Amino acid sequence: MAEEPDTNRMISIDGQSYELNSLSETARNQLMNLQVTDQEISRLKQQLAIAQTARTAYANALKAELPEQ
């Protein structure tokens, strides 16, 4: 589970700077949700890269097993 953001820092959203402790609890929760979602997107991109690499390896192994034409 993600840690709650440090409330003493500044963040920038759409070009505007905000102190985290000035945001509502709901806004801080949404920020945390964004961070968790960004982490999941990164994890999924890594998984996709692994799958694409495996697919390439399988395709190369298949080509090596095909009879010459």
Q: In terms of Cα–Cα distance, which of 3, 4, 7 is closest to 22? A: 7
Can you give the pLDDT of all 69 residues of the chain as single tens digits? 555 555 479 999 999 999 999 999 999 999 999 999 999 999 999 999 999 999 999 999 999 999 998
- In a domain, residue 49? The reply is yes
**pLDDT number for residue 2:** 57
Q: CB of 10 within 8 A of CB of 18?
A: yes
Angstrom distance (rounded) from CA 56 to CA 41:
22
Asked whether the whole model's pTM tops 0.75, one would answer no
- Strand partners of residue 19: 10
Q: What is the tally of structural domains in the chain?
A: 1
pLDDT value of residue 37: 98
Domain that holds residue 52: 36-69
Residue 46 lies inside a defined structural domain of this protein: yes
